[in-house]
Chains A and B, each alone.
Chain A
Amino acid sequence: MLLETDVLVVGAGAAGLMAARAASAAGASVVIVDKSIIGRGGATIMAQMTTAVALGAAEPDSVELHAQDTWDGTRDLGDRAIIDVICTRAPDVIREVEGYGANWARTADGRYSQVFAPGHSRKRCVYVDVLRTGDAVSQALRSVVRRDGDVVRLSNVMLTKLAKDGDRVTGALGFAIEQLEPVGIAAKTTIVATGGLTFLYARNSASANMTGDGFLLAAEAGATLRDMEMVQFFPIAHLYPPLVQLDPIMWDPFRYKLGGRLLNGNGEEFLGESGDASGAYTTPRDTATYKIFREVEAGRGSPHGGAYLDFRMIGADALKAGFGPVIDILARQGIDLTRDMVEVSPMAHFMLGGIAVDAAMQTGVDGLLACGEAIAGMHGANRLSGNAITEALVTGRIAGETAAARNAVARTPVEAALAEEWSQLQALWHPRAVTRDDASVDAFKARLQQTMWENAGPLRTGAKLERALADIRALAAESEGLALAPVEAFALNLQERVELRIMLAVAESIVLPAIERRESRGAHVRLDFPEQDEVAVAHFLTRGGERWSMTARETAAASA
């Protein structure tokens, strides 16, 4: 399949859909592609509640204050220009998405309902529903893009390489998964909106397709990655007892509403949150993650290696009102929050680092833009609750606008490049003819996830990170030459093979700068270097010859 378009968007979560919408609204033709189903795969649909935006509906607020709170959260590792543009444009973009059908909750007198979340100095977070804000945003964007005749939507297509003509990106190449065939898309501008990489970790709150594809696509095309060691671990993901039908990170919104408290295995409070039982919830995510693991390491964890989450001080009526239908889902699985505590522990949740871009979402590579979770700059070393959907929507819109403004550029055919990439893929999938896969590719992915969790996860040391690097390289060597059986329809094993190649490369992009960062800063905790250095240094990675090269610069210089 060969297509031509003005703008190609890779990835169809909130950022990609918004980019497609904005580019189309500015007069460009658009092709939007997702490895999963448009608007279903990825992280947006799983987002629970909060979206931070300075609307000032609950109390006086300003975009400057939102930007300052966000910067303060970054542990000096954010990019001021990116933060400023996102916070400044957020109010308009939030209203735009409401026009597409995301019905932000309103108070009785008709104003936006805005709630507090840790790290924000004002009641700033709008929401559609306590557990379904991301779903509502996805549905709204999915339907507006579906009705848009200038947007072609391709589900179940995996793009494996960006096409280049000299220094310019000219589109992307890959394959269709449902009915296996090569796919090449020639585009004047390509936007990477592939989200994060948290599926690289054994304990994750990610969709299975969050394998970090866009980081490698962009880096192989010449883009620079920034602070890839900065992975956010969500502190209170569900651990025990086993629970189905609910996202593991679902406890957070209830803490915003009801309070509740965290206790160690001895039943003692350890976060030092003053009014915790009365509803105040103030500990930032990086600090909470660190303190939970510190209790576990000291032998004061809960029985399954986390902490207890306790809502027992809240009355049955208040629990029922606060949890709504969730209280019944919990009851069916034997959990009565008036009587039982649950166990929680950290889980890989969000990629803070990513593709380096400017405030127009340009990567520095001609023809290549990026947006959403895939970019660096908004969160530095720690993301505030509520800032992810905001980042996705605003940077998606900016990328779409920047792309549409480049429409005078000529298109370059990608047919020859596609033939070359297709033969590369054949060589990766079928180095020998076999009738059964040599081994399960998914089993390799699981082994990679395990070492990343154990050795490059929430609590790191130099020795553990070296172990992770050795494991990654051993897995790469062991999977080399793995032969897969041919498959015509729903080629999941072929998709997984490409994902394994990507995950191994991206895992190195996390571990290499994590080894070099001999300090603890935000989400990056080094037990062997527990202090934060006085001067913040950003790490930049580029790729050439299948290897990463790293440079370090002080952040003041980096954002200048």
Chain B
Amino acid sequence: MSDTTTTLAITRAVPGGESRVEEYVVPYEDGLTLLDAIIWIRRHHDPSLAVRFSCKANACKECSAVIDGKPGFLCAQRAVPDATTRIGPLPKPRLIRDLVTELY
């Protein structure tokens, strides 16, 4: 097992409240997606991090977020070794909590 890591800088927020950015360092492995990394954070570090996902295979379109300034899907983008990826909620839909926004 390598010691390579990837860092996620995630916007934590509640509606009407102050938002803050928390950095999480996640063990990197080949093929790790941003969603995999967030699941690792919830499993090993902070289960209170809110994220919406379902299929993990780019079909359901539930795991949208703003990734390094651009909208995208967390399951469809790879984490980057030895680098930081900034992740926040979509700006337009109503915020539910953290990365979760309203979706129909």
**A residues bordering B, Cβ < 8 Å?**
36-38, 40-42, 45-46, 134-135, 155, 178, 205, 207-209, 241-248, 436-437, 440-443, 446, 485, 487, 489-490, 492-493, 496
Contact = CB atoms under 8 A, between A and B. Distances in A.
B61 interface: yes
B47 A440 contact: yes
Interface string B31-64: 1110000010011100110111111111111100
Contact of B15 (A246, A441, A489): A489
Give the interface SS of chain B, mostly helix, strand, loop or mixed. Answer: loop
Nearest to A47: B59
B85 to A, nearest CB: 14
B5 interface: no
Q: Interface size class for chain B?
A: 35 or more
B54 A490 contact: no
Contact of A37 (B44, B56, B103): B103
Interface of B: 14-15, 30-33, 39, 42-44, 47-48, 50-62, 75-78, 96-98, 100, 102-104
A492 B51 CA distance: 8
A537 B11 CA distance: 55
Nearest to B50: A490
Given A207-B54, A244-B33, A441-B47, A490 B100 contact: yes
Contacts, number: 100
A178 B61 CA distance: 18
A40 B62 contact: yes
Contact of B44 (A41, A45, A243, A443): A443
B42 A442 contact: yes
Given A244-B78, A440-B42, A446-B43, A490 B98 contact: yes
Given A244-B78, A489-B14, A209 B54 contact: yes
A490 B97 contact: yes
Contacts of A207: 54-56, 60
A241 B48 contact: no
Q: Which 3 A-B pairs have the closest CB atoms?
A: A242-B31, A247-B57, A489-B97
9 contacts: A40-B62, A41-B62, A244-B31, A248-B57, A440-B43, A440-B44, A441-B47, A487-B48, A489-B100
